[in-house]
Every structure is written in C-alpha cells, then in structure tokens.
Structure 1
Amino acid sequence: MKKISFLLFFLFFGMLLSGCAEEESSKIQVAEVTRSIFYTPLYVALEKGFFEEEGLTIELQTTWGGDKTMTTLLSDGADVALVGSETSIYVYARGADDPVMNFAQLTQTDGTFLVAREEYPDFNWEDLKDSNFLGQRKGGMPQMVGEYVLKKHGIDPHQDLHLTQSIDFANIPNAFATGDYDFVQLFEPTASIFEQEGRGHIVASFGKESGKVPYTVFMTKQSFIQKNEEEIRNFTRALYKAQQWVQSHSAEEIARVIQPYFDDTELGIITTVVDRYKSQGSFAENPILDEAEWNNLKAIMEEAGELPDDVEHSKLVNTEIAEDIMNE
C-alpha cells in the first residue's frame, strides 16, 4: 500500500511539474514574409531548440508578401513579423498611432541574384542594356535594391532596359522560364536550381553590390514590446544564439539542420545556397540594426522614389534589447 501511495505521489508531482513547465512557456506567433533559405538563422533557432530554451513556443506562419505580412501583424494575426524594414516606414508614414518597431535584424544584404538566360563568362553590367529584364514588384526591397545597383553601374532601369515589373513575386520564376526575357532578378534556391537545370546562369549578386542594409528584420508593434518585453528579450536571445551557431558551423552542417523546412529542395542545393549567402555576409552576425544600415535603406528607398518620410533611426528601431542581450 505504501508503495502504491509513493508511486501516486511521484505521478502527481510529475504532472504538477509538467503543468508548471507549460505555464512558463510563452507562445509567440511569427509571420514570415516568405519561406526562404535566406532566413536560415530563424530555422536554426527553431530546430536547435533555442526558443524552447528561452521558454518560448513559436507558431510560424508564412504570409507570402510584404503587404500581407504587415496586414497580419497590424490586425493582430501575428505578434511578430519577419519582413523588410521598409514596411515599418510605410506604416509610420501613414500616421500609425502604434508604430511598428524593428527589434532584431536577421539578414543584412539583399538576397537576390542576377540570372541570365545565356552564359556570360565575362559578364559586364553594360550587357544589360537594351535587354528584356524581368524585375521584382515595385516598392519592395528587391526592386528598390535592384534599381539602386543598376544605377550604380550606369544603367537607367526605365530607359536602358525593357523592364517588366507586373509579375507577382511567386510567379516570377515561371514567367522567366516560359517567357522571352534575357535577365531576371531571383532569390535562392530558385537561382541555383535554374543554373543546375541549365535554364539560367547566375552572373552577379545584388547583395554584394548594394552593401549592408536591414533587408529582413523581426518587428512588432510598440505596444507589444511594452506589454511583453521579457518575451521579446527571450526571442532576441534565442535568435542571437542561432546567429552565433550559424557563424561557427559549416554550410553542410547548417543545411542538414534546416532541411526539414525545404522538403522539395535537394540537400546539395540547400548547402550551395547557404554557402553562397554565408560567404557574402548575408546572415546578420547579431540582432542589432545600426544607424548606418538604416540610412543606407533610406538612401535606396529615396533613389527609387519610394521614401515617404525621412524617419530617424531612433523612431522605428529598438537596439536596446539586442545590445543588452549581447552584453550578458
């Protein structure tokens, strides 16, 4: 009888501890703008259990596009959004009472590549002139960075090219594959897959050409940070662990970790893409979005005629949390 009572006590005690653990875990809903190997540190944080170590349960949804992602965040369909920093400026310029704050940077360069229909062993940017160029959606970071880089090389995208910007983001690869285009601006892994299949050739990296910019950042409403600062701190700490892990491990090791998020992509392609992004410094090494990067973003937006307001870094960027985490 004593043995049964003793066993029941431990079963009850175990259930009590389990219940406490569940209560201690906080749920954060995250909306990512697309599913991309470009966001490798996020998937590493999920797969390596770094969020769990910080007492967080992450519910990840893919919202497919900047506008949809920001609408999801503003309508409380998500607590945190992973999207380009330009969206926070657009929201602020519309007079939002509860501004969207950038609190942790994930990628620090553009993630697109220039893919040509034909091989160009000695590619020169002048080769683009008078070509049929399939670009990205107007007003988004890929398009703005693309035009910024072209202008830097003396190419006026609206005068020197036969430019198409009317294709939806998800349909751009198929449009290039089936259409009469000479060049296209593509994300990975599509660019590498096209190259592997002989349907295109990577000739340049917009990320290398544009310099550091807060391309993809975790952001949330200012009110959410005020009410849930500890959860945001824990989120940022988990991300920083993942960023450090990515910096200290090989592309092959990283690819194996994130493979579950890309079931339709061969491990070899994932490895190639991770190596390409890592070697050009696309993955931010820490969560801090500094003022120089913010100013570079505004310069790119202004050059594209898309900067609605010259918003100061301090108004839409919270670096205090990331700085505290790094100083622990």
Structure 2
Amino acid sequence: MRLLRLPRLPVRRALAAGLAVTTAFALAACQASSADKAGGRTKVTLGVGGQPLLPYLPTTLAEQLGYYKDEGLDVQLQDLKGGSKALQALQGGSVDVVSGYYDHTVQMQAKGKDVRAFVNLLRTPSLVLAVSPKAGRTIESVKDLKGAKVGITAPGSSTDFFLKYLLTKNGLQADDASVQAVGGEAGAVAAMESGRVDAAVMVDPAVSLLQQKLGGSEKVRLLADTRTPEGAEQTFGVKSYPAAVFYAGGSWLQRNPETARKLTRAMTRTLRWIQEHSAAEIAQKMPAAYAAGSVDVYRAAVDHAKPGFSPDGLTDEAGARAAAELQKSFSPEVSGKDIDISRTYTNEFVVSD
C-alpha cells in the first residue's frame, strides 16, 4: 500500500509568517496599552445631592480646577437635586459615588447595608432653620412650629433629618410640623418669600438670597444656624460634625481602592485651595449660574461658608457619633439599633502631605 505524501511547507517561510503575525499582535497590544496610559481615564459617575448648594461647592470646584483630570479620572457629575435622590441613585446603580450628607451612611447601616464615607468635605452641617416673614402665625422658637408648614429639600434628606431632630430636641414629636418639599435653591426662596411655608430648613446660597430679597438678616429670623463651628457646637455639642462627604458602597470601595484614593486626593487638594484663597476668588471659579444673578450675595455666602469646609478631608469620630445620635433621637429605623460607627466612614484614603 502506498502512503500518500503530503507536500512539505517551506519551514522558514512558515516560521517567518508566524513570527510576523505574532509581532503584529504584540505591537498592537503595546500600542493599545500605551494609548490607554496616555489618554485613557477612569470613568466615575458622581451623584450630587444639590450641586449649586454651598455644601457641595468643593465637588464642583474640583472639576473647575481640573483636579479630577489631574488624577486620571473622567468624573461625570450628576445633579440629583436632593440627598435622598442621590442615595436612591447609588442604591439603583446609576451612580458610583455620592457627594451627599454623612447621615445617609448611618441610615444605611441601620438597614444592614454597607455604605461608607471616605472623604469629608464639610465639618459643619451648614443647615439653617429660618422663619418666613410672611408666616401665617407667630414663630419665635422651634416649639412654635407645631402644626406649622415647614419646607425641606426633599423627604428623607438631611434637611428633613435636621428638622425632626430640632423638633424632638425641643419636646415635640418628629411629625408635629407639616413638612413640604420645596427644593434647596430658587424653590426654597420662592416658598419662603411668598409665605407658602411658615419656615424652612435652608442651605446657602438660598439663605443669603432670601435675606437679600426680604431686606436683610434682621427680617429673617433664624431659629438654628449651623454654618459655623460655633453654631454646630450650640446645636449638636460638637464643633466638628461630618456633613457633606463622598460616600460609596463598601463593595465598590473594595473593588476600586485606587479610584477612591484618586477622588480623595482631588478633593483634599481642593479643600486646601479653598483655605488658601479668598471668597471672591472661590466664587469666580464657580459656574456663573450658581450666583442666580446676585454675584455679591453669592460671594458673601461663600465667605460665610468658608470656615465650615474641612481643611483636610478627615472625619472626626466624635462628630460621627453625634450624627448617629441625632438620627437615634427621632428615627424609628435607627433608634435602638447598634450602629458600628467605624463601618460608616473610613479615613484610610486620606493621605496627609
């Protein structure tokens, strides 16, 4: 039986062809890798609980200064108009990180969910409980809010928590006031200006704009003002109280430690920039629309807010415990729960220079 002899391939040509193909793939891979390192950025979707509000000023300022890009990040800011909505977006997976209030990490742990703050923007809550000059009743103290219409940014937001805390602290029930969602910016000012609400928990620049519209601070009674360390101590018993922070799910932080570190570096760099520049210089860097046509008022509001911004991004344990106690005082979801404060925030990504 004759065996069929297959034609022999030119060995040298085959090896050369194979080597050429292998080299081409290797070069392509190297070029792709180089392109990724040269121009590629890590995308992060960052939800903000009311972007024009001053507690979140560092979040936008970091973008304006180019600090996110300096860290190799492509940060997409989403203005979600309220802290509770930003939290919902995180839970739903439409954002990776939230620039919101620390209170929500306590709220989530009480529900058995791992959400942690990893850099602190604001060491005072900067929340103000103001009375409308057109209120339909006499309101001289928090106790007079029983049955009154009180505006908040949104149900479940930190403005809502703050109101409930003040009511219970002054001997009332958490639901003794009729809560109305009015937003945190123009909506809040309009509601107070028209008398649609008798009082409201507000955040600058809305507070300053309201005072300017209604003829000065003497026309707008403030029942509580936590825009300064002194005001925070008077209200909560501590000078440093974590307010606006960056927070994310614990699993996200475990999977993305370097991204969290880069976000933190961008933010601590921004916080130092705030400390080193005047209110006028800070205001000039912000989007013009945030001043709502009143540049001087906005600049004054920034000047008032400056002492409240964290100088270093660190979260203080005593302040964190005070925030947890605040929620325990009025929230059935948190009251009686064993809150492990060490699992609501971390300072591990904050590196001191």
Bin of the TM-score, shorter chain as denominator length: 0.7 to 0.9
Partner of 1:191: 207
After superposition, residues 259-274 of structure 1 pair within 5 angstroms as: 259-260=287-288, 262=290, 264-274=292-302
What does residue range 108-119 of structure 1 map to in structure 2 within 5 Å? 108-118=123-133
Q: What does residue 326 of structure 2 align with? A: 300
Q: Alpha-carbon deviations, 1:168-196, whole Å to 9, x = none?
A: 43554433332365433222112211111
Once residues 16 and 140 of structure 1 are traced to their aligned partners in structure 2, the CA distance between those partners, rounded to angstroms, is 44
2:241 aligns with 213
In the alignment, is the contact (CA less than 8 A) between 2:168 and 2:329 conserved in 1? no
Q: Give the alignment's TM-score, normalised by structure 1.
A: 0.80
Q: Is 2:46 the partner of 1:30?
A: yes
Q: How much does 1:300 deviate?
A: 1.0
CA contact (8 A) 2:130 2:199 kept: yes
- On the 8 A contact 1:105/1:289 being kept in 2, the answer is yes
Residue number in structure 1 paired with 2:18: none
**Contact 1:28 1:79 survives alignment (8 Å):** yes
Aligned ranges for residues 22-171 of structure 1 at < 5 Å? 22-23=39-40, 25-35=41-51, 36-96=53-113, 99-118=114-133, 127=141, 129-130=143-144, 132=148, 134-136=150-152, 139-149=156-166, 155-158=170-173, 163-169=177-183, 171=187
1:277 to 296, 302, 305: 305
| Cα distance, 1:151–1:206 mapped onto 2, change above 3 Å | farther
Contact 2:129 2:199 in 1 (8 A): yes
Letter in 2 for 1:196: Q
Amino acid of the structure 1 residue aligned with 2:61 = V
Q: What are structure 1's unaligned runs of at least 5 residues? A: 1-14, 120-124
Give deviations 1:81-134, integer Å, cap 9, x for gaps: 1112222222233333xx112101111212222333349xxxxx9555536452
User: Counterparts in 2 of 1:233-244, with a 5 A limit?
Assistant: 233-244=261-272
Q: Percent same amino acid at aligned positions?
A: 23
Q: In 2 relative to 1, CA 45–256 (structure 1 residues): closer, same or farther, beyond 3 Å?
A: same
Q: Distance in 1 between matches of 2:155 and 2:36?
A: 49
- 2:118 aligned counterpart, secondary structure: strand
**CA distance change for structure 1 residues 311 and 182 in 2, over 3 Å: closer, same or farther?**
same
User: Relative to structure 1, is the Cα distance of residues 217 and 272 closer, same or farther in structure 2, using a 3 angstrom cutoff?
Assistant: same
Matched AA of 1:156: G
CA deviation profile, 1:132-183 (whole Å, cap 9, x unmatched): 452435543223334545666xx33449x97321334355443333236543
Tell me how large the CA RMSD over aligned residues is.
3.0
Structure 2 counterpart of 1:201, from 217, 220, 231? 220
Residue 28 of structure 1: how far off its partner (Å): 1.1
Give the Cα separation in 1 of the matches to 2:144 and 2:42.
55
Q: Is the 8 A contact 1:130 1:162 kept in 2?
A: no
Within 5 Å, give how 1:11-22 maps onto structure 2.
20-22=37-39
Cα shift readout 1:52-85 (whole Å, capped 9, x = no counterpart): 1111121000112233212211222111111122
Deviations 1:244-275 (A, max 9, x none): 11011111111101134626342212211111
User: Which of 189, 192, 197 is residue 176 of structure 1 equivalent to?
Assistant: 192
1:256 partnered with 2:256: no
Give the greater-gyration-radius structure (CA): 2
8 A Cα contact 1:81 1:218, kept in partner: yes
Question: Within 1, Cα distance between the matches of 2:179 and 2:292?
Answer: 27
Q: Aligned in 2, Cα 1:138/1:33: closer, same or farther, shift over 3 Å? A: closer
